[in-house]
Structure formats: structure tokens, C-alpha cells
Structure 1
Amino acid sequence: MSYADKVFIDMCRDIIDHGTDTRGEKVRPVWEDGTPAYTIKKFGVVNRYDLSKEFPALTLRRTAIKSCTDELLWIWQKKSNDIHELHSHIWDSWADEDGLIGKAYGYQMGVKHKYKEGMFDQVDRVIYDLKHNPYSRRIMTNIYVHQDLHEMNLYPCAYSMTFNVTKEQRSDRLTLNGILNQRSNDVLAANNWNVCQYAVLLHMLAQVCDMQVGEFVHVIADAHIYDRHVPMIEELIKREPLPAPKFWLNPEIKDFYQFTRNDVKLIGYETHEQIKDIPVAV
């Protein structure tokens, strides 16, 4: 069975059985009809995935690997805040009349900063350090920029990546590991989407830096299930997990800026039916 399914089932069961219910409290999100969107939540959820063993895509329902890769590249490669540069419509609710989401996500990745070695944006700095200073303990990104929060249409949820390089015994290649810090995670709508995105990112960066992939650690401050999602989650986690798919990344690409969403595939990806019409709180 897929290890990602086991992690997801255990996390959801723990949230529902032992989480904090926010019903009756003052909450910011609302449903389309204007009613408060309450949650059951757990603080400080940490999930670990060994990417050298399998790719962490759920089989309980399908995760659209090309679409989540497209959003990842929109942020990390295009460094864009323009929804017209996305193939999906997942950001439409947070875009203004010009299709912009403010100084959020990709915008922050494109801001250049001064270092001793010169001017870099955050992505180029990560790639530079992985190639030139792989054992540095300072290889990280952060897009939760307080001075710009008032100009962001949505505060960043997944806001920081920390990269750490190790070397396995009897291996002639370095191993790339990463930690994603997330302040908030909608477990049904976005959990495995984010997991797959940053697993893809680690595979891409490892390939262009001539490394192998290691562990991906997902740290969530507030992991929550919305009240209207609970029945959907209960149905989902009753399903029998299937074998994990194999991950394929175009081996010809050696430049991070050359990857496209078509350079990733999940081979042998068998899943249960999709859960449709998931309501999204805004």
C-alpha cells in the first residue's frame, strides 16, 4: 500500500478524534453562502516521506500531478503573481480585476537580495548554494514577508522551505532533503497537493544539482478539516490504499528553468474515484 495513504489516514483520524473544534469561535473563513467555515484542527503536525523509496501521491483519490506541478513552477520558476500564467483556476478567488494576487507567492520568489557573492533571488540563491555550498545550513526560502503582507491577497500558507544535504554511506552522490513549513493546511483540499508539489521540487532540484532525493518533511502548524469536509474525509479514509505509483522526471532537463509540467509523470498510478464538488472556504 502507498505510504502516503497511511500517513494521510492516520493524520485525518487523529484530527477528527483528538482535534480542537472551532465551532462557536470567531473565525475568518466563510463559505459561499456567508456562514462561518469552522474546522477541527491539530497543532504541530509533522509528516515524513522518504522520496528515495516512493512518491507520496495518494491513491485514496487522484492528485493531479501536472496541475500541482504547474502551480509549483508558477511560483518557483516563473516567479509570477499573475493567474493568467497558470493553466488552472485555483487562484481565481484571490485575484484582482487584473488577475494579480498582489505581492504574494511567486512575486516574493522573484525579489532580488544582495549577498556577498552578488544579487540573487531566493530560488537562484538555493540553486547556487546547492551547487557551491551543499553542506551549508542556511539554504532556505521565506515568502512570509511582513512588510508586504498588506499587499498580498492571501497570506502565504506554505511559506518556507529549508534544504539540507547529506551523504549516504557507500554512495558517490549527495542526497537532497527538504522541510516545508506551512502555517495552515486544508487537509482535504490541499494536503496531498502540497506534498506532491514539494516532492516534485526536491526531485527537480536534485536532478539539476546532480544529487539524489532523500527525505521530505512536512511541518504544519494548523492542520485542519473544515466542518463541511468531515463526511467526505470519513468516506475517503475508509477506502483501501493501493500501491504507490512510480515517479518519472524528464532526465534530459539539467536547468531548473527548462522544466515544464509535461516533464513529470506518475507511472502505474491507480486510484479510487475522485471526490467531487469539494466546497472551498474563502
Structure 2
Amino acid sequence: MSYADQVFINMCRDILDNGCSTEGEKVRPKWEDGSYAYTMKKFGVVNRYDLSKEFPALTLRKTAIKSATDEMLWIWQRKSNNIHDLNSTVWDEWADENGSIGKAYGYQMGVKHQYKEGMMDQVDRVIYDLKNNPYSRRIMTNIYVHQDLHEMNLYPCAYSMTFNVTKKPGDDKLVLNAILNQRSQDVLAANNWNVVQYSVLMHMLAQVCDMQVGELVHVIADAHIYDRHIPLIEELISRETHPAPIFKLNPDIKNFYDFTTKDITIENYVTGPQIKNIPIAV
């Protein structure tokens, strides 16, 4: 099996067997029929993926890697908060009549801040530091901006990336590692989607900064499985698994802002059938 399969199966089994239920508690999310969406949850889940060994895509079912990447580029590259700039429908239910999701996600990444080196947004600051001061312990982004929360149609779920550069003895290239912090995650709908898109981001940043990829550490404060997802999860984690796919990035791209989903190649991606019509709590 792929390592991502192993991590996912173990995480889901732990949530179902050892997690706590929110049934009967005062919860915010509801199903389309108006009933409350309860969960089985675990606090403080930490998953580690060594991207130098394999690309962490699930094989239990297919993850739409290019669509996940497009959403990541929408936030990190296009720095947009409008669904008309996104090539999928994942944000449609949180958009207003003009397509805006408010001062969230890409909006925050595009806000310029004053540094002693000049005005930069958070993405450009990360790239600047990785190229000029890679051993800094201050290379991070944060889009959970409290003063703007009231103008966000959805509070950020994955809200922070912290980058850390290391070097292997005898190796010329530096190693790019990162921690993805997430306050909350719908495990069935979004877990591997987030893992894949931030893995692609790390590959892209490593390439344009002349580094190699290392570890992605995914920290989830509230990892939950919704009550109506439990039978779907039970079936999913019982499936046959396959080896991880091969991930390739166009080596000619040296500027982060030049990447498109066409620069990604996924080979030998064998998966189980897709789960369709997953109910989403809002």
C-alpha cells in the first residue's frame, strides 16, 4: 500500500475506536435536511509524510490531484477570494452573488506587509526567505486574521504553514520541510485533498528555491468523521490498497508564479472506485 493509505487507515480506525462523539452537544454544522451534523473526533492528530520517498496520494480512492492543486494555486499564486478564478465548484456554497468568499484564504495571502526589506505579501516573503535566509526559524504564513474574521464567509480550516530548512550530511542541496496547521478537518471529504495540495506546494517551492523536498507534518486540532460518513469510512478503509503513484513536476519552471496544473504529471495512479455524492455538512 502507499504510505498515505497506511496513515489514513490508522487515523480513521483510531478516530472511530477511540474518538469522542459530539452527539447531543450544541454544534454548528447541519445537514441539508436541517438536522445537526454530529461527529466522532480526535484532538491533536499529527501525521508525517516524507515527500522524498513517495507522493502521499490515497489509493483507496482517487484524489483529484490537479483539482486540489488548482485550489492551492488559487490561494497561493492567484491570491484570489473569488470562485470565478477557480476551476472547480468546491467553494460555491460559501460564495456570495459576486463569487466572493470574503476576506478569506487568497485575499489574506495577497495582503502586503511592511518588512525591513520592503513591502511583500506572505507568499513572496516565504520565497524571499527560502532563497536568502533559508535557516531562519521565522518562515511562515498565517491567514487566520482575527480582525477580518467577521468578513470571511468561512473561517480558514488550514490556516498556517511553517517552513523549516535542513541539510543532510554530504548533500549539496538543502531540504525543505513544513508543518501544515489545521484547526478542523472533515476527514472523509478533505484529508487527502489537503495533504496532496500542500505536498505539491512544497515540491513547487523546493524546485524554485533549488532545494529538495523533505517532510510534510500535518497537524489537525479537530480531526472528525461525520455521523453520516461513518459507514462510508468503514467501507473505504477495508478496501484493497496499491503502491503510491509517481509525481513529476515540469523541471523547466523556475518561477513559482509560472506553475500551472499542466506542469504536474501523475503516473501509475491505481485506485479503488470513487465515493460519490458525499453529504457535506454546512
TM range (shorter): over 0.9
* Contact 1:180/1:219, CA 8 A, preserved across alignment: yes
* Contact 1:12/1:233, CA 8 A, preserved across alignment: yes
Q: Superposed, which structure 2 residues align to 1:69-88 within 5 Å? A: 69-88=69-88
Q: Which runs of 5+ in 2 are unaligned?
A: none
Q: Give the secondary-structure state (helix, strand or coil) at the position aligned to 2:13.
A: helix
Deviation at 1:240, TM superposition (A): 1.8
What CA distance in whole angstroms lies between the structure 1 residues aligned with 2:170 and 2:56?
26
Residues 2-59 of structure 1 deviation map (CA, whole Å, 9 limit, x = unaligned): 0000000000000000001001000000011111010000000000000000000000
Query: If the length of structure 1 is used for normalisation, what is the TM-score?
Result: 1.00
Residue aligning to 1:142 = 142
Residues 230-255 of structure 1 deviation map (CA, whole Å, 9 limit, x = unaligned): 00000000012100001011111000
What CA distance in whole angstroms lies between the structure 2 residues aligned with 1:261 and 1:73?
9
Query: Residue 29 in 1 paired to residue 42 in 2?
Result: no
Q: Give the secondary-structure state (helix, strand or coil) at the position aligned to 1:204.
A: helix
Q: Give the secondary-structure state (helix, strand or coil) at the position aligned to 2:93.
A: helix
What CA distance in whole angstroms lies between the structure 2 residues aligned with 1:190 and 1:62?
12
What CA distance in whole angstroms lies between the structure 2 residues aligned with 1:135 and 1:241?
38
Residues 185-243 of structure 1 deviation map (CA, whole Å, 9 limit, x = unaligned): 10000000000000000000000000000000000000000000000000000012100
Query: If the length of structure 2 is used for normalisation, what is the TM-score?
Result: 1.00
Could you list the runs of 4 or more consecutive aligned residues of structure 1 that deviate by over 2 angstroms after TM superposition? none
Deviation at 1:81, TM superposition (A): 0.2
* Contact 1:65/1:265, CA 8 A, preserved across alignment: no
Residue aligning to 2:176 = 176
Deviation at 1:264, TM superposition (A): 1.1
Q: Give the secondary-structure state (helix, strand or coil) at the position aligned to 1:266.
A: strand
Residues 115-140 of structure 1 deviation map (CA, whole Å, 9 limit, x = unaligned): 00000000000000000000000000
* Contact 1:65/1:264, CA 8 A, preserved across alignment: no
Aligned length: 282
What CA distance in whole angstroms lies between the structure 2 residues aligned with 1:250 and 1:33?
45
Q: Which amino acid aligns with 1:63?
A: T
Residue aligning to 1:252 = 252
What CA distance in whole angstroms lies between the structure 1 residues aligned with 2:278 and 2:150?
29
Residue aligning to 1:205 = 205
Q: Give the secondary-structure state (helix, strand or coil) at the position aligned to 1:4.
A: helix
Query: Residue 92 in 1 paired to residue 81 in 2?
Result: no
Residue aligning to 1:122 = 122
> What percentage of residue pairs aligned between the two structures are identical?
79
What CA distance in whole angstroms lies between the structure 2 residues aligned with 1:85 and 1:32?
27
Residue aligning to 1:188 = 188
* Contact 1:208/1:253, CA 8 A, preserved across alignment: yes
Q: Give the secondary-structure state (helix, strand or coil) at the position aligned to 2:144.
A: coil
What CA distance in whole angstroms lies between the structure 1 residues aligned with 2:96 and 2:39?
27
Residue aligning to 2:281 = 281
Q: Which runs of 5+ in 1 are unaligned?
A: none
What CA distance in whole angstroms lies between the structure 2 residues aligned with 1:203 and 1:47?
18
Residue aligning to 1:166 = 166
Query: Residue 225 in 1 paired to residue 225 in 2?
Result: yes
Q: Which amino acid aligns with 1:57?
A: A
